[in-house]
């Protein structure tokens, strides 16, 4: 007999549900026949209307609302079992130019999600974070770092009967997502020249389908306070561009403000609390007074002398592997 998925019979709400992650996750959720209801909460009515046409499953519901509005969130969370918090302002130049807007959405919005989830006795809340939150060099990364800390620390409150559990998933570049390198290549390819900020640059890469599988697994096993990181390989961005558009010339234009040469997913400070769960890593919380049990403590530790950095030779693939990673 097949084991029932944790989400069977559950009501799941996705904030920012009309974005790249949200659309893919809604599709994944609706593929689980025993999921009771899926709710998309976002502020873009046009994108919601597009999703209504795309998805005809009667279990899918829509809420117009903004994570900045606590009362709207509290209304939307009534009866909800699981919240996946993906709503965020993400464009680095836009958030640098409009910093307070990023703070309101990414930080205050996350606090509103926490408060509404506690007040409505939601079972589990999972924040979708980013590699930019690790040792941030731009405002977007800084806001996601604060959002991660808010989510982890909120386990100290736990809600009625110690019920609500809060965790984080943190990952790198999603292949094919809106605004990705692949989208940039497709726009520039007809001109025969692809721009690159620095030919030493490396990034972690993951397919959206792999993200979906990881998130489904996390929702089943999370105990609260953990930061989960998928296992990913990295590539030089120049190798990615060459694989995608071998006929094009690459024009190196110089690194942009707020951009790193390499991305880190687990810092040297987090390594000591990191365990290997086969398909992903998990960073255990520093403060565990709220934890009912620590089911990951005896898992294999992350190598203490290593850092999960895209420039680390342990994770960096040869350019010949680019096509396999990109699946082209």
List, for residues 205-240, the tens digit of each pLDDT value.
Answer: 998 999 999 999 999 999 999 999 999 989 999 999
> What 8-state DSSP symbol labels residue 223?
-
Kind and range of the H or E element at 165?
A: strand 165-169
* Predicted pLDDT at 160: 59
The single residue of 28, 90, 132, 231 carrying the catalytic annotation is 132
Q: pLDDT over 70 for what percent of the chain?
A: 95
Range 292-298 contact pairs with CB under 8 angstroms and sequence separation of 24 or more:
292/162, 292/223, 293/223, 294/223, 295/221, 295/223, 296/223, 296/226
Q: What is the mean pLDDT of the chain?
A: 91
* Predicted pLDDT at 2: 56
> What domains can be seen in the chain, in order of their start residue?
11-173+205-232+264-308 (3.40.50.720)
Tokens describing residue 183: 């989208």
3-class SS at 75?
helix
- Whether 45 has a pLDDT exceeding 80, the answer reads yes
Q: Is 132 a catalytic residue?
A: yes
β-strand 124-128 against 82-85: which pairing, if any? parallel
Model confidence pLDDT, tens digit, residues 114-149: 999 999 999 999 999 999 999 999 999 999 999 999
Entry pTM: 0.93
């Amino acid at each position: 007999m097949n084991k029932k998925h944790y989400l069977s019979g559950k009501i799941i709400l996705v904030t920012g549900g009309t974005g790249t992650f949200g659309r893919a996750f809604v599709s994944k959720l609706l593929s689980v026949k025993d999921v009771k209801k899926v709710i998309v909460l976002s502020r873009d009515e046009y994108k919601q209307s597009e999703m209504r046409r795309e998805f005809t499953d009667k279990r899918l519901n829509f809420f117009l609302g903004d994570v900045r509005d606590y009362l709207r969130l509290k209304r939307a969370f009534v009866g909800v079992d699981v919240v996946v918090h993906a709503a965020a302002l993400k464009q680095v130049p836009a958030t640098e130019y409009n910093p307070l807007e990023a703070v309101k959405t990414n930080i205050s919005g996350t606090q509103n999600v926490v408060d509404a989830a506690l007040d409505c006795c939601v079972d589990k809340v999972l924040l979708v974070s980013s590699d930019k939150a690790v040792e941030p060099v731009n405002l977007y990364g800084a806001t996601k770092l604060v959002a991660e800390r808010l989510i982890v620390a909120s386990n100290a409150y736990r809600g009625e009967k110690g019920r609500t559990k809060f965790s984080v998933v943190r990952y790198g570049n999603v292949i094919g997502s809106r605004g990705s390198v692949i989208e940039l290549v497709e726009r520039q390819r007809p001109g025969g020249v692809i721009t690159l900020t620095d030919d030493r640059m490396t990034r972690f890469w993951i397919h959206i389908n792999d993200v979906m599988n990881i998130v489904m697994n996390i929702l089943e096993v999370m105990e609260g306070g953990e930061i989960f990181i998928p296992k990913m390989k990295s590539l030089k961005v120049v190798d990615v561009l060459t694989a995608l558009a071998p006929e094009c010339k690459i024009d190196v234009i110089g690194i942009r403000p707020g951009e790193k040469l390499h991305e880190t997913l687990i810092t040297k400070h987090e390594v000591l609390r990191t365990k290997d769960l086969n398909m992903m890593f998990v960073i255990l919380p520093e403060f565990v007074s709220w934890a009912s049990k620590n089911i990951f403590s005896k898992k294999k530790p992350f190598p203490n002398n290593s850092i999960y950095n895209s420039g680390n030779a342990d994770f960096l693939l040869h350019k010949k592997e680019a096509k396999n990673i990109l699946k082209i």
